[in-house]
Amino acid sequence: MSRKAIHVVPSADGWAARRPNAQRSSGNASTQAEAMKIARRVLGNDGGGEMRIHRPNGQMRAADTIAPGNDPRKSKG
Residue 72 placed within a domain: no
46: buried, middle or exposed (CB in 10 Å: 19+, 13-18, 0-12)? middle
Residue 1 binned pLDDT confidence (cut-offs 50, 70, 90): very low
Residue 36, domain member (yes or no): yes
Kindly tell me if the per-residue pLDDT of 62 is higher than 70.
Answer: yes
Q: Does 32 reside within a domain?
A: yes
Tally the domains of the chain.
1
Residue 20 lies in a domain: yes
Which amino acid belongs to residue 25? S
Flag whether 39 is in a domain.
yes
| Structural domain includes residue 76 | no
* Residue at 73 is within a domain: no
Q: Which of 24-33, 44-53, 67-76 has the lowest mean pLDDT?
A: 67-76
| pLDDT tens string 3-38 | 689 999 999 999 999 999 999 999 999 999 999 999
Domain region containing 37? 5-65
Q: Is residue 77 part of a domain?
A: no
Residue spans of beta strands (DSSP E) within 1-77:
5-11, 14-18, 27-29, 49-54, 60-66
Contact criterion met (CB below 8 Å) for 8 and 39: yes
